[in-house]
Amino acid sequence: MKEVAANFNAKGLENSVQEHWRTNDTYATVKQHRSSGKPFFFVDGPPYTTGTIHLGTAWNKILKDSILRYHRMNGRHVIDRAGYDMHGLPIEVKVEQALGFKSKKDIEKYGIKKFIGQCREFAIRNKLLMDDQFINLGVWLDFPGAYKTVMPEYIEAAWWTLARAEEKGMLERGHRVVNWCPRCETAIADAEVEYADENDPSVFVKFPLKGRANEFLVIWTTTPWTLPANVAVAVAKDFEYAKVLAIKDDKETLLWIAEPLVKAVLRKGRCKDYAILETKKGADLVGWVYESPLASCVPLQREIAHKVLAADFVALENTGMVHIAPGHGWDDFVLGTKEGLPIVCPVDGAGKFKEEAGCFAGQFVRDSNENVLVALGDHLFAKETVTHRYGHCWRCKTPIIFRATSQWFLKISEMRDLMLKEVEKVIWYPEWAGSARFYDWIKDARDWCISRQRYWGIPIPVWVCPKCDAYRVIGTIAELEERSGKPLADPHRPYVDDITIPCTCGGTMKRVEDIFDVWFDSAVASWATLGFPGKTADFENLWPADFITEGQDQTRGWFYSQLGASTIAFGKAPYKSVCMHGFALDAEGKKMSKSLGNVVTPEEVIAKVGADVLRLYILSSSAPWDDLKFNWEGVGTINRAANILWNVYRFPVPYMILDKFEPANTGGIWDDAYIRAHLKQMPDEDQFIISRINTVAATVDAAIKECQLHRATRELINFILEDLSRWYVQLVRERMWIEGESESKHFAYETIYYVMRRLIGLLAPVCPHITEEIYSNLRCKNDPASVHLLDWNKGEPALMDGSLEQAVGIVRSFDEACANARQTGKRKLRWPVSEVVVVTDSEPVRDAIGRRLNVVCKDRANAKTVRVVMGRWERIGWKAEPIMKALGRGFGKNSFAVKTLIEGADGNLLKAEIGAGRTVKLGEGDAVFDIGDEHVTFAEQLPPEVFSAPMPDATVYVDVQLTPELEAEGYAREVIRRINEMRKQLDLAVEDFIIADAAVADERICALIQGTWRAGIMDEVRARELAIHNTGAAAKTYDMVKDWDVEGVAMTIGIAKVI
């Protein structure tokens, strides 16, 4: 054991511990140690390689690390491969920005090979940066061996999964409407659409009915640019539609509008007057035909037979008639497919109109809105602007459009029931994350569009024959090489694009150009991380995962994508339990964002208080699934708690070193045999703290099992602060100061050693650095090399003593009440009191204070005696207090005299008589009055110099009356304290001796101290000589001379070190 630094320096401590781990490869040792244990298969949700982690990412890994460390200590062989998500649009967009690109054409010009190279480099560089940041948090995952979505064997896992989908008929090549980003020129998944406010036109348009002059259907839209693709109008079968004669600018028009909406629509069209001519059910309108108002300038529109249909999604809003463009809307598309409408989409990938759009050709759709409105001419009935939520591309923030294109889909809608069934089998923390949130999300799941028209991603392994249109899904690299007869250098684009396969029809199959949605990459992580399908042994033994934990945003992300892919590939959920955690918000509960300037980074927290405090703060602040409001004050509080832990650890070390203490051990390995054998002989406070740490261990264990890290950490912090620092250490200090051999001191050493060892074991998963540092100093010579090699201890019932813990609880209440009463009586704790009396009816209070822990009580109260009185304490008297209102009624003008009589009467007598139901005669001669129950109340009257304070089920009375003996001791203690203060100022060592001189101005006090306390003082301050005298100042030869005012008595004290 070595001396411990006085100041808790988290940063320095963590650096040296990390260095120690590195040089000794402690992580590998720990894994090796558990390698034969029962496997615990954890899958790391791969963070996207953006380069910097934020507080939420840190939280995520801290949670994972703490839970995994717990399982390792419990003997589990933890599969803890880290993962990184390294493909996808976000990286492409970053690289595009760096290269100054504006569109896909720039990439093609630059060369896909070079572009991919840049993306790869960017991802790898960031991955390395992130490794370091995670390691600085003290996270122990396998980072060097991390799975990366760019690895060939990982890509193969995705290919293999798609081949399974094809095998099961779950893969579909479809012409469908998808979310489309016109900047990135690709389809994007529902999961990639972000919603934000956007200003758009809100227009009402008249569609002329065929063969009915001056008669129109009125529709409403916020996307005028979709009108060139209009093919139909939908109505609701059951709505009433009105034919309205509308008068505007003295011109009459016949309009069809849902009847309840007529008034509102016509007001928007600024019609002076109108009349409803007739109404018809929506069903009666079905089959009507109309012409496009854009027919003259859009050639495409001239070929379309526009008609009215019924649809159930039509709502009674706007005009009650919905413009249908199956090429530009999901509902429209579904309806169009059902009704056999032409799916027209005159818009290209960049969001520009094609030739068939006539006068709009070449225009960007969102920019063409105004032109469309102009082209509508008189058919534009009304125009306003609305602000509404509109979808945007998650990466480049461009407003998305809907576009009908040829894409690849996984038929999630057909898997839905199976997925729901699987969700129910998973254990969710908290329960509602699965049963409510995730369940609801899957209930509405649609088919998953997995194809993207981009470059940096896993190529979709589908080869199509241009001759016969047959396609083949390739499941492995080997299969591809075999079928193509060519080696594959790199499974990425553009390398894989060059590989062709001969088709059975004699044609040459070429790969479709698409890559996978990046969410599909991570979806296969649970088997890809095991090397499957390349290697099968681990997969067969371990899969599905025992545990995963991610943020609540992953409900629609990774929890979902994994479940989808796994259900398709294996028909079951890829995880057995899931913990959903919250988000890191700022102190106001707002999202941290660069634009708000409220971002706190893990680095800055670590720089101030270290990773362990950050870990402890995050885990203790809120339940994992609640959002965390980051708060620096909270961090400071936890830092203080860590500092107290450090002080508690440090406090006994110098004494142990002085005494060359070695905890009882067997062959250099520590165990608790000594504690078990001697427990019953040990002082109560030792038994108590031993019991407590075991009780705490049981609580902590139960909490971690349920992912209740907040309960576990709060319990530990509470133990350190309340039980250990504020209670046990205070009691045990004097035993540490005993010089020479002492059983009591030895018990204290063994106890505190035991408690520290148990405590750091419990704390190790959460604070891996501090506990390692403490452990390295405490461990016996053959103990395991690291705290992280220790076995978890979940509390020994044999060492728990519930009744003792209860008794100590009572004594602590007593302790507080004493301090309270002393404060009222203005008697400092340093001054002894003769007696403390506890009055109670409670037997547990009597047993704790009066019997079992009486010695502790005397010590804590600094009292010569502490005794318990059941029922009543005879020194408590009663004081009678007159009730003036009643006296006035009863005695009229004599009231004042009666008041004086009552106040002067013996309260105790009065209470006894009246309490017995009698009246009492007070007064003399003519003035005698009968006093009854209604005239008085009684207040407790304490004896002089006795002060009271309440505690649960009892009242504590402290008698602060001084006797000469008590006074002598009090002053002696004052002198001791001042001499010790001076020793400290002189920076003397604990074992140094001094000579001292005290000149006390008050003759009586001087005599008091001199009389019985000279030897006691000398002993306490380690003085070889001590002169106490009434007059004269201390000689100048002292190292330090100081004037003191002790409770109004002037003293001049001098001390000098004996050399």
Partner RNA sequence: GGGCCCGUAGCAUAGCCCGGUGGUGCGCCCGGCUGAUAACCGGGAGGUCAUGUGUUCGAAUCACAUCGGGCCCA
Contacts of RNA in 4-23 (CB under 7 A): 6
Q: Rounded to an integer, what distance in angstroms lies between the CA atom of residue 442 and that of residue 455?
A: 30
What is the number of alpha carbons within 13 Å of residue 219 lying toward its C-beta? 26
Residue type, 259: E
Q: Is 397 in the site for RNA (CB under 7 A)?
A: no
Nearer to RNA, 428 or 747 (CB): 428
Q: Are 354 and 346 in contact (CB under 8 A)?
A: yes
Say how far residue 252 (Cα) sits from the centre of its chain.
65
Which of 91, 1017 has the CB closer to RNA?
1017
One-letter-per-residue 3-state SS of 204-217: EEEEEECCCCCEEE
Residues 936-965 that bind RNA (CB under 7 A): none
d(CA 844, CA 802): 13
Q: CA-to-CA distance for 885 and 171, rounded, in angstroms? A: 93
Task: Give the per-residue contact string, 372-391, with RNA (x = CB under 7 A; - = no).
Answer: -----------------x--
Q: Give me the least distance between CB of 820 and RNA, in Å please.
A: 4
554 in active site = yes
313 touches RNA (CB under 7 A): no
Per annotation, catalytic residue among 44, 65, 80, 85:
85
For 221-232, b/e burial (b = at least 16 CB within 10 A) is bbbbbbbbbbbb
Asked if 563 contacts 419 with a C-beta cutoff of 8 angstroms, the reply is yes
Query: Which of 484, 526, 622, 793 lies at the binding interface for RNA (CB under 7 A)?
Result: 622
Contacts (CB under 7 A) with RNA, residues 584-603: 585, 587-591
Per CB under 7 A, does 626 bind RNA? Answer: yes
Q: Is 444 in the site for RNA (CB under 7 A)?
A: yes
Q: Reply yes or no on whether 558 is catalytic.
A: yes
Among 79, 628, 869, 975, binds RNA (CB under 7 A): 628
For tokens 């045999």, name the residue. 673
159 catalytic? Reply is: no
Instruction: Compare residues 528 and 1017 and give the one whose CB is closer to RNA.
Output: 1017
- Best CA proximity match to 130, nearest among 27, 49, 44, 45: 49
Closest CA to 374 of 296, 272, 257: 296
Distance CA 729, CA 732 (A): 5
Per-residue contact flags (x/-) with RNA for residues 1006 to 1035, judged by CB under 7 A: --------------xxx-------------
Single out the residue of 806, 666, 693, 816 nearest to residue 754, CA to CA.
Answer: 693
Single residue of 118, 621, 955, 1010 touching RNA by CB under 7 A: 621
Q: By CB under 7 A, what part of segment 672-701 binds RNA?
A: none
941 is a catalytic site residue:
no
CA distances from residue 418 to 135, 429, 444, 450, 1036 in whole angstroms, order as listed: 39, 21, 14, 20, 93
Provide the residue type at 645 as one letter.
L
The answer to whether the CB of 1030 falls within 8 A of the CB of 999 is yes
Three-class SS of residue 284?
Answer: helix
Which part of the chain contacts RNA (CB under 7 A), choosing from 20-28, 240-248, 258-266, 616-624? 616-624
Residue number with CB closer to RNA (651 or 938): 651
**Structural contact between residues 98 and 107, judged by C-beta atoms closer than 8 angstroms:** no
At 784, list the tokens: 């395991």
Minimum distance from CB of 735 to RNA (Å)? 11
Kindly identify the residues of this chain, within the stretch 66-125, that bind RNA according to CB under 7 A.
none
Size of the site for RNA (CB under 7 A): 74
Q: In sequence order, what are the residues at sequence separation of 6 or more whose Cβ sits closer than 8 angstroms to the Cβ of residue 608? A: 635
What is the torsional sign of CA 810, 811, 814, 819? negative
**Shortest distance, CB of residue 891 to RNA, whole angstroms?**
37
- Whichever of 529 and 622 has its CB closer to RNA, that residue is 622
Q: Which of residues 180-219 bind RNA (CB under 7 A)?
A: 190-191, 193, 195
Tell me which of 301, 453, 554, 708 is the catalytic residue: 554
CB of 386 to RNA, least distance (A): 13
**Considering the rule CB under 7 A, would residue 830 count as an interface residue with RNA?**
yes
Residue ranges in 500-519 that form contacts with RNA under rule CB under 7 A: none
Contact status: 777 vs RNA (CB under 7 A): no
According to CB under 7 A, which one of 636, 877, 890, 1016 is a site residue for RNA? 636
Q: Is 650 in the site for RNA (CB under 7 A)?
A: yes
Determine if 809 is a binding residue for RNA (CB under 7 A): no
For RNA, the binding residues in 725-754 under the rule CB under 7 A are 725-726, 729-730, 733, 736-737
- The CA distance from 429 to 580, in Å, is 6
SS (H, E, C) 236-269: CCCCEEEEEEEEECCEEEEEEEEHHHHHHHHHHC
Residues 147-186: x where in contact with RNA by CB under 7 A, - otherwise, as a string: ----------------------------------------
Residues in 831-850 that interact with RNA by CB under 7 A: 831
Using the rule CB under 7 A, which residue among 15, 16, 647, 919 binds RNA? 647
Q: Which residue, 190 or 965, has its beta carbon nearer to RNA?
A: 190
Q: For RNA, which stretch binds (CB under 7 A), given 31-39, 418-426, 433-441, 765-773?
A: 433-441
Within 318-347, the residues that bind RNA by CB under 7 A are 330
Give, as ranges, the residues between 699 and 718 that touch RNA (CB under 7 A).
710
- Please, how many CA atoms are within 13 Å of residue 925, restricted to the half-sphere of its CB? 1
Sketch the per residue contact string, 980 through 1009, with RNA: x for CB under 7 A, - otherwise.
xx--x----xxx------------------
Full DSSP string of 301-349? HHT--EEEEE-TT--SSTTSEEEE-TTS-HHHHHHHHHHT------B-T
In the complex, minimum distance from the CB of residue 992 to RNA, in angstroms, rounded to a whole number: 8
Whether 469 is catalytic? no
Active site includes 591? yes
Q: Which helix (H) or strand (E) holds 61?
A: helix 55-73
User: Exactly one of 168, 591, 629, 1042 is catalytic; which is it?
Assistant: 591
- Assess contact for 620 and 713: CB atoms under 8 A: yes
Catalytic residues: 46, 85, 519, 554, 558, 591, 594
